[in-house]
Structure 1
Amino acid sequence: MKGFEPNFDKNDNGAGFNIKDVKEPNLYRDLFPYSEIPKVKFDGELVPIDLPEDIWITDTTFRDGQQSMTPFKVEQIVRLFNYLHELDNNSGIIRQTEFFTYTNRDIKALEKCMSLGYEFPQITTWIRANKDELARVKELGVKETGMLMSCSDYHIFKKLKLNRNEAFNKYIDVVEKSLEYGIVPRIHLEDITRADFFGFVVPFVNKLMELSKESKIQIKIRACDTLGMGVSYASTALPRSIQKIINGLRIYCNVPQSSLEWHGHNDFYNVVSGSTTAWLYGCSSVNTTLLGIGERTGNCPLEAMVMEYGQIKGNTKNMNLHVITEVADYFSKTMGYDIPIRTPFVGSDFNVTRAGIHADGMLKDEEIYNIFDTNKILDRPIVVAVNEYSGLAGITAWINTYFKLSGDDKISKRDERVAELRDWVESQYENGRTSAISNKELELVVKRTFTELMYVEGSCVGYNK
């Protein structure tokens, strides 16, 4: 497989990849001026697509996701863990999830989930590069743990107050202890999209791969796009190029595809495309959270990557995608989480149409304006909302979808009673109404007008439940 050429400084002999210690941190001020929007630099070099045969999803809802919300209750963590298992449905697509180990609540939830004995998702933990925290993982009997190991000079110099060699030695010391315990280390290379790739990342990961060979325990690498700086444009230069980060870890560090993972954030709206790019260029695993919850703008939504997986691989094996809708309902109704209504796949309006012209198309064939059979795949029938712009087509579509009418039972937009309803709707807005007409309100009016529907049960789904 082809790689790109390392961009060594002129005074670097390029003989190898040793830690390039520096007195002052390399903050890439040409790319990250801070007082301005970050810049994207292009170097003209391309790397080839290298999609792994086997790709999968990991989850950090109980770790990175939970940091952005009120701490989950034990029963909520167990319920969400069960949802992950039910969604995966023993397909192995949702391969792992990770837990904190800091509070009694965290540990109780972890132990309850472990006691369920599921194959998927596998339970892992997350710790800082700290031997005391590692000892706690050993006591809990967890077989793999993530370890936070910051790799950019922003973090090494400014946060840890170390130099590169000091950080390197600190990290390796903890990794060696993990291998001694027989715990698989998953190295979280924090802030890799602002790191000196050949000056720190490559020599550090090369050392990790040496330790893997010696111990016969395969160390995993999670490339963390901590501030969402990674971009997927062709010919983007390091450190922001997702393609070159994944390709470089493969070519210059010999990390197996199955041991590579991408962790993205959505600060620049790139988290889904960035995660998919990581898959396409040789990374087997992408890290996600349910509904994309997480710090600042959030992590990569798990449900989005399920859909990306289905498009790339042509199927979702035996996953139960109806569980995505159940998860959204649980977050909304039980956990009090406000899901933006237009969020793809889980928002209340994601398959709602208000435009009359769209409704007219849906009257002819719902496939014209629906992304896929949302009723079959997600247990979310299409919904038409009625407002001042709906017209005859919109009102007719609402009646047929709400009352689940098909074949000869369908109402035609040429039915004179539909015109009566349109006049009623228009009068509402002429008299100053500004809100959409709720399903329940419209149901009562329709049943008075279409008496044959008086005893037909309506379906309050999607919009204005």
Structure 2
Amino acid sequence: MDLERGPWKKDYYWVSHYQFLTETQTGLRLPEKVTFHDSTLRDGEQAPGVVFSPQDKIEIAKLLDAAGIQYIEAGFPMVSKADREAIEKIVELGLKARITCLCRARAEDIEMAAAIGVWGAILEVPVSQVRLKYQFGWEEDEVIEKFMAAAGMAREKGLVPYLFMIDSTRADLNFLEKLITKAVKEGVERVSIVDTAGCTTPRGMFYLAGKVREWVDVDLEVHCHNDFGLGVANSLAAVEAGVGTVAATLNGLGQRAGNAALEEVAWSLEALYGIPTGIDFPKLYEVAIKVQELSGWSFPPNKAVVGRNIFTWEAGLPVAALRRNPHTVEPFQPEIFGRKHEIELGKKCGKANIEWKLEELGLEVTDNAVIEELVERVKEEAIKLKRALTDEEFSRLYREVVKG
């Protein structure tokens, strides 16, 4: 096998080849393409303390559309007048993305969605025993009746109805089959498998999604929460079982531990599975950062895919390798997201860091002894300051060393 030629290696990334082997592909039902249903404006805003103004929502929606997101869940119109107005204004933008909103299986919710003019109505119904018994007090047949009535009304009003099954991963399998097959038989063409409590494993999700795919041949969607840190992994497992749409939020923003992070799922599908998503990744990075700013939440600098520091290097040995070939120390490069490497000058830096920074700042040094002295001076200063040096501080050191 030529490890330098294959779907695992492109200009700006080089990932493992093992997931592309025939042996590891056996049993998978990978779709030819995966689309995305962004829920940042609804499920993301349910994170405690997060409030997006109508103008914030409009700005985020525009950026999502520019990034190639195919479906945008613009909110839950029954929550407030501000939500209704924001959703209506997003609809009026005429975006390429199809606009949806959350609805309970109630006439007033559906009428509101139709009045606002969204494309799809996400009709949520509980399906797990714990929800039915202890939260809603509904019987299984009652769920089916309520959903079918709501779906029929939604279609009559020109809306595309989703079967959005709250807590799917804790539901009885026989009940799920009865509900889903009846819904599809009556014309429902979109079904969402929802891990509301974020409590399954990738194998569990693969099994459940595979069963649903066996029962019906309609557009399937997966919507995962992240309580065990498996939101992305479970979303990918559903895709492995044949699910063609992933509902997620940017940065994984959401209540409790949040949702599957859309940018992580999208980039994993492109790079690790070779599945096209239609996403413009520099623009997706732009909107992810905008959501971080508007949410007011802080995110770890080492967050996967869009973290502030994931292309920032300080240790000397990897920086030296990075200068020779970035594939040696990174699975993917910053150019994919319209970013660039950042090299810090701190306690752990080496000659390669100094050389990189000199080139970046347009400072000339031809004497190796000067570079060696700069390395030592930078380390001494970094230890005193307990941080990396700024460009201004390094430039000052450079002038001191060069002038002798």
- TM-score range (shorter-chain normalised) is 0.7 to 0.9
Aligned to 1:229: 199
Gaps of at least 5 residues in structure 1 are: 1-46, 213-217, 234-240, 452-465
Aligned to 1:245: 208
Residue 91 of structure 2 corresponds to residue 114 of structure 1: yes
Match of 1:437 among 389, 397, 400: 389
Q: CA deviation at 1:289?
A: 0.9
- Report % sequence identity: 23
Match of 1:254 among 188, 211, 216: 216
2:35 alignment partner AA:
W
**SS at 2:222's partner residue?**
strand
**Inter-partner Cα distance in structure 2 for 1:210 and 1:172:** 11
Select the structure that is richer in helix. 2
Aligned to 1:391: 350
**Inter-partner Cα distance in structure 2 for 1:132 and 1:377:** 45
Residue 75 of structure 2 corresponds to residue 123 of structure 1: no
1:203 alignment partner AA:
K
Residue 138 of structure 2 corresponds to residue 158 of structure 1: no
C-alpha offsets along residues 343-380 of structure 1, whole Å, 9 cap, x if unaligned?
A: 12221111112222111212323332233331x32121
Aligned to 1:176: 152
C-alpha offsets along residues 114-138 of structure 1, whole Å, 9 cap, x if unaligned?
A: 122122x210110112211111112
**Inter-partner Cα distance in structure 1 for 2:294 and 2:34:** 32
Cα distance, 1:363–1:96 mapped onto 2, change above 3 Å: same
**Inter-partner Cα distance in structure 2 for 1:315 and 1:173:** 37
Cα distance, 1:255–1:314 mapped onto 2, change above 3 Å: closer
Determine which structure has greater relative contact order: mean sequence separation of CA pairs < 8 Å that are 6+ residues apart, divided by chain length: 2
Aligned to 2:321: 361
1:219 alignment partner AA:
E
Match of 1:211 among 163, 183, 186: 186
**Inter-partner Cα distance in structure 2 for 1:79 and 1:189:** 29
What is the root-mean-square deviation in Å for CA atoms of aligned residues?
A: 2.5
1:56 alignment partner AA:
T
Q: CA deviation at 1:163?
A: 2.5
Cα distance, 1:226–1:443 mapped onto 2, change above 3 Å: farther
Cα distance, 1:424–1:113 mapped onto 2, change above 3 Å: same
**Inter-partner Cα distance in structure 1 for 2:182 and 2:318:** 58
On the 8 A contact 1:246/1:282 being kept in 2, the answer is yes
Cα distance, 1:320–1:167 mapped onto 2, change above 3 Å: closer
On the 8 A contact 1:149/1:190 being kept in 2, the answer is yes
Residue 111 of structure 2 corresponds to residue 135 of structure 1: yes
On the 8 A contact 2:32/2:276 being kept in 1, the answer is no
Aligned to 1:101: 77
Aligned to 1:192: 168
**Inter-partner Cα distance in structure 1 for 2:402 and 2:176:** 69
**Inter-partner Cα distance in structure 1 for 2:263 and 2:399:** 37
Gaps of at least 5 residues in structure 2 are: 1-25
Alignment of 1:77-96 (within 5 A): 77-88=57-68, 94-96=70-72
Residue 261 of structure 2 corresponds to residue 313 of structure 1: no
Q: CA deviation at 1:246?
A: 1.4
On the 8 A contact 1:143/1:183 being kept in 2, the answer is yes
Larger Rg over CA atoms: 1
Aligned to 2:375: 422
**Inter-partner Cα distance in structure 2 for 1:338 and 1:66:** 15
Aligned to 2:244: 284
**SS at 1:80's partner residue?**
helix
**SS at 2:286's partner residue?**
helix
Cα distance, 1:411–1:175 mapped onto 2, change above 3 Å: farther
**Inter-partner Cα distance in structure 1 for 2:62 and 2:100:** 15
When the two structures are aligned, how many residues end up with a matched partner?
Answer: 376
Q: CA deviation at 1:146?
A: 0.3
Match of 1:145 among 121, 125, 134: 121
Q: CA deviation at 1:110?
A: 1.4
C-alpha offsets along residues 429-457 of structure 1, whole Å, 9 cap, x if unaligned?
A: 55x43223234433443465569xxxxxx
